[in-house]
């Protein structure tokens, strides 16, 4: 029952953020640089405010960790981890791939995760131990077991040294995998692994808000998610490989 309340509230908040993203997309909004190659738009702030307003009204005792606001000291075992607009670069260019991500964690383990892609009205969700769903339909990772048939997705980082490591990994993968795509939303790409639309996704500089919901969704659909060293991925690990499981070890060997 409580899980349902957590999930329903996360869905409500994600849909509210998605509505703002759709409405603002063709309006004029301010865009600033947080750092080199790292954008912040007014829409990031508007969506964050909307989500926090809903969650804090419903769960005033829970902590909230969100990308655009400095985290207050922890006081609860429960913490909502939010990326209000994941794919800001895409959004600011009008490139139509972005999402909002909301997870509830208990002692740093995700209990509930919601990733919403507003332009397609695709809502991915999972509850720990309860499976993963897209618009209410159950998800399952793909059964592809050959690297040559695999579609692999990945993402860049703002940092140039990390980019060079990604480029090196692409070079090693190129001879072996079917094809590769750069995703542009780290919260969305593991959901696509969950849906069986691609076999793997890797990122070398994740933040907890990028993947707190998405990795739960992927795992609940049968995916494997580890660091490049092979340890189960946890919230504060920057590097992550999410795969359909069958191709995990060969992919990990090529990427690291
Ligand atoms: C970014 C996106 C992007 C990934 C970056 C993230 P943001 O998040 O997920 O795909 O490559 O590492 O920072 O800044 O748009 O929320
Ligand atoms: Ca992000
Ligand atoms: Ca963001």
In the numeric block, the tokens 């997705």 are attached to 153
Q: Give nearest CA residue, ligand 1 atom 1.
A: 87
CATH number for position 84: 3.30.540.10
In the numeric block, the tokens 């005033």 are attached to 60
For 105, phi and psi rounded to 5 degrees?
-110, 150
205 CA to centre of ligand 2 in angstroms: 10
154 and 236 inside one domain:
yes
Look at residues 110, 138, 166 and tell me which one is the last residue of a structural domain.
138
pLDDT, tens digit, for every residue of 68-103? 999 889 999 999 999 999 999 999 999 999 999 999
110 and 192 inside one domain:
no
CATH number for position 203: 3.40.190.80
102 and 159 inside one domain:
no
pLDDT, tens digit, for every residue of 102-133? 999 999 999 999 999 999 999 999 999 999 99
Is there an atom of ligand 1 within 6 Å of 83 CB? yes
At residue 35 the predicted structure's pLDDT band, cuts being 50, 70 and 90, is confident
How far is the C-alpha of 81 from the C-alpha of 242, rounded, in Å? 19
48 and 87 inside one domain:
yes
Q: What Cα–Cα distance (Å) separates residue 135 from each residue in 131, 139, 177? A: 13, 10, 30
For 157, phi and psi rounded to 5 degrees?
-125, 165
177 CA to centre of ligand 1 in angstroms: 24
Look at residues 82, 111, 138 and tell me which one is the last residue of a structural domain.
138
Residues constituting the chain: 256
Does pLDDT of 18 surpass 60? yes
Is there an atom of ligand 1 within 6 Å of 156 CB? yes
81 and 37 inside one domain:
yes
Q: Would you say 242 and 201 are in contact if contact means Cβ atoms under 8 Å apart? A: yes
129 and 185 inside one domain:
no
Computed over every residue of the chain, the mean pLDDT equals 97
163 and 84 inside one domain:
no
Residue 79, Cα to own-chain centre: how many angstroms? 17
pLDDT, tens digit, for every residue of 166-180? 999 999 999 999 999
Closest ligand (CA of 184): 1
Give me the domain span that covers residue 157.
147-255
67 and 124 inside one domain:
yes
Does pLDDT of 154 surpass 70? yes
At residue 48 the predicted structure's pLDDT band, cuts being 50, 70 and 90, is very high
pLDDT, tens digit, for every residue of 198-232? 999 999 999 999 999 999 999 999 999 999 999 99
Enumerate residues 6+ apart whose C-beta is below 8 A from 166: 154, 155, 156, 157, 204
128 and 174 inside one domain:
no
8 and 74 inside one domain:
yes
153 and 251 inside one domain:
yes
Tally the domains of the chain. 2
């Amino acid at each position: 029952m409580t899980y349902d309340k957590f999930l329903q509230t996360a869905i409500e908040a994600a849909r509210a953020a998605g509505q703002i993203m759709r409405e603002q997309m063709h309006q004029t909004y301010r865009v600033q640089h947080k750092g080199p190659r790292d954008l912040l738009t007014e829409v990031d702030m508007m969506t964050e405010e909307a989500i926090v307003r809903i969650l804090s009204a419903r769960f005033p005792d829970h902590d909230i960790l969100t990308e655009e606001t400095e985290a207050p000291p922890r006081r609860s075992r429960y913490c909502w981890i939010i990326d209000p607009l994941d794919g800001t670069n895409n959004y600011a260019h009008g490139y139509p791939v972005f999402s909002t991500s909301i997870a509830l964690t208990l002692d740093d383990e995700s209990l509930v995760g919601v990733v919403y892609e507003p332009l397609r009205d695709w809502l991915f969700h999972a509850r720990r131990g309860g499976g993963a769903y897209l618009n209410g339909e159950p998800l399952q990772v793909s059964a592809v077991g050959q690297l040559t048939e695999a579609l692999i997705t990945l993402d860049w980082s703002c940092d140039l040294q990390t980019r060079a490591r990604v480029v090196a990994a692409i070079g090693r993968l190129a001879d072996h995998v079917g094809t590769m795509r750069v995703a542009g939303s780290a919260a969305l790409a593991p959901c696509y692994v969950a849906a069986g639309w691609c076999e793997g996704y890797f990122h070398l500089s994740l933040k907890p808000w990028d993947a707190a919901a998405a990795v739960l969704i992927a795992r609940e659909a049968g995916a494997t998610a580890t660091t490049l060293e092979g340890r189960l991925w946890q919230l504060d690990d920057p590097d992550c490989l999410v795969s359909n499981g069958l191709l995990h070890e060969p992919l990990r060997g090529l990427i690291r």
